[in-house]
Chain A
Amino acid sequence: MKLYVKPTTNNKKYKTEIAKKYTIFLSQYPEIFSDLLYGSHFDFAIYDSMEKYENETPVEIFNVFCNGNGIEINPGKANGSDLELALSVKAIEKLIQTDSKEDYAKLLGTFYNQPDEERGWIDFLLHKRTQTIIDMGYGRFAKTAGLLDDENDT
Chain B
Amino acid sequence: MSKVKELEIKNKYTGELIRSIPADTLESLQEKIKKVSKNQYLLKKMTFFERSQLLSKFASSLRFKKKQLKDLIVAEGGLPIKYSEWELNIVTNGFKFCDWYYQFIEDTHLTGIEGEQFVTIKHIPQGLAACVSPRNTPISLPLYQMGANYLVGNAAIVKPSTACPLTMLEAYSMMEEVNLPALEALDLIIAPGEWAIDEFLRSSLVKILMTITSSHTAKDIMVRYGQILKKTVDKSMGVPMYTRPFKQFVFECAGNDAGIVMDDVNLEQVAKWNVMASYTNSGQQCFSMKRIIVHRDIYDDYIDCLIKEIENLKFGDPTDPDVDIGPLGSRKILMMMEVMVADAKKYNTKIYTGGEKVDTGEDYGLFYEPTLVEIRPEICVDLVKSPFLWREEAFGPVRSVTKANDLKDAIRLANASNYGMRAVVYTSNLKSIEIFKNKLEAANIYINAKPMLTDITVALGGIKDSAYPPGCKYYPQELVFGKYIYDGTPANLNKIK
CB distance B102 to A50 under 8 Å? no
The answer to whether A54 and B61 have CB atoms under 8 Å apart is yes
Cβ-defined partner of A131 (8 Å) among B60, B61, B103, B452:
B103
A125–B272 CB distance below 8 A: no
**CB < 8 Å: which of B56, B178, B451, B452 contacts A54?**
B178
A130 to chain B, nearest CB (A): 4
Q: Please, how many residues of chain B have a CB less than 8 angstroms from a CB on the other chain?
A: 26
Contact A115 B56 (CB under 8 A): no
Which B53-69 residues sit within 8 Å CB-CB of chain A? 56-57, 60-61, 63-64, 66-67
A121 CB to nearest chain B CB (Å): 7
**What separation, in Å, do the CA atoms of A61 and B451 have in the docked complex?**
39
Q: Which residues of B contact A17 (CB under 8 A)?
A: none
| B363 interface residue per 8 A CB criterion | no
User: Would you call A154 and B102 a contact (CB within 8 A)?
Assistant: no
Interface pair B451/A152, CB less than 8 Å apart: yes
Contact A126 B56 (CB under 8 A): yes
Judging by beta carbons under 8 Å apart, are B450 and A152 in contact? yes
Q: Once the chains bind, are B269 and A154 in contact (CB under 8 Å)? A: yes
B184 at the interface (CB under 8 A from A): no
Cβ < 8 Å to B, chain A residues 122-153: 123, 125-126, 129-131, 150-153
Q: A115-B66, A125-B60, A152-B276 are in contact. Are A130 and B451 (CB under 8 A)?
A: no
* Closest Cβ neighbor of A50 among chain B residues: B64
Query: Interface readout for B209-245 with A: 1 if CB under 8 Å, 0 if not?
Result: 0000000000000000000000000000000000000
Give complex CA distance A113, B96 in Å: 14
Q: How far is the CA of A53 from the CA of B64 in the complex (A)?
A: 11
Query: Top 3 nearest A-B pairs by Cβ distance?
Result: A130-B100, A130-B97, A154-B272
Residues of B within 8 A of A (CB): 49, 56-57, 60-61, 63-64, 66-67, 85-86, 96-97, 99-100, 102-103, 178, 269, 272-273, 276, 450-452, 456
23 contacts between A and B (CB under 8 A): A53-B60, A54-B61, A54-B178, A121-B64, A123-B60, A123-B64, A125-B60, A126-B96, A126-B97, A129-B99, A129-B100, A130-B97, A130-B99, A131-B100, A150-B450, A151-B85, A152-B86, A152-B450, A153-B450, A154-B269, A154-B272, A154-B273, A154-B276
